[in-house]
Amino acid sequence: MNTTEWIGNAFRGDLVKQSTLKAIKNVIGNDAFEKLVGHILPRLIELGCRKALLALLNLQEFKDGNPSLTFFNPVFHLLLSTEVPPAELTVEDYRKAVGNPIVHPVHLAALNPSGEPLKWINANIGAEELKVKSGTGETVAHFAAVCDSDVNLKFAEEQGVDLGAKETEQLQTPLMWCLRANKSLDIAKHIVSTKGRGALNDKDKEKFTPVQYLGRYGVQGDASEWVNYF
């Protein structure tokens, strides 16, 4: 099993608690923990593990006032937290975070199930910000597809974001991201209802279809309901 698969198996479902991460940090030490975090951060973001990401933000100190230099900054904490009003976020601080090498702030905002940060970005930065793609072509729809609510996916669609776009590295669609992360059937249904049943025939780089993702990664909830729908 490679590192990517290990991280996916360990964190898929976003059930790892802050207390568990703290215990790991205490056992292996700060330096080793920072190296571990460096490996798992991108994968946690792709799987929509918002709770684990917040737990890491709470455990690690904010090392620099410039949010473009590190994941551990107050801007990212605001974007992920459902308890902090996005009004506390300023346009200036948001723009400083845009250059972050790990994740674009608009993509991180799409993981927040309250939907408020993404709406704040649309209203204060502009609708074009929701069209930003990562260096490997992931769109807001990819990240909204691994959110614990469909509110961001629906909002992104209203702003003209393509729910069927493929990223360029593994040729995965938002639907594939949803299934890989074991997110809800409602999110999958919304994507299929928008893109049509043809979305179930899309193939990634390895020629896997969304239906094959069901068998490969399992499902959230009653498996028979997923099988009957697909």
C-alpha 1, offset from chain centre = 23
- pLDDT computed for residue 13 by the predictor: 72
Domains (range + CATH), the chain:
1-60 (no CATH), 77-229 (1.25.40.20)
Q: Which two tokens stand for residue 129?
A: 């910000």
- pLDDT computed for residue 104 by the predictor: 97
Rounded CA gap, 72 and 33, in Å?
Answer: 14
DSSP 68: T
**pTM value > 0.75:** yes
Is the distance from CB of 105 to CB of 125 less than 8 angstroms?
Answer: no
The CA-atom distances, in angstroms, between 216 and each of 11, 51, 142, 209, 219 are 16, 24, 19, 10, 9
Rounded CA gap, 187 and 184, in Å?
Answer: 6
The CA-atom distances, in angstroms, between 220 and each of 12, 202, 208 are 11, 21, 20
Rounded CA gap, 178 and 1, in Å?
Answer: 22
Residue 96 neighbours by CB distance under 10 Å: 18
Taking phi over 0 as left and psi of -120 to 50 as alpha, with beta for the rest, 15 belongs to alpha
- pLDDT computed for residue 1 by the predictor: 54
pLDDT per 10-residue tile (average), the chain, 230 residues: 61 77 87 87 94 89 74 92 78 93 96 95 96 96 96 96 96 96 91 91 96 85 75
Rounded CA gap, 155 and 173, in Å?
Answer: 18
Rounded CA gap, 113 and 106, in Å?
Answer: 14
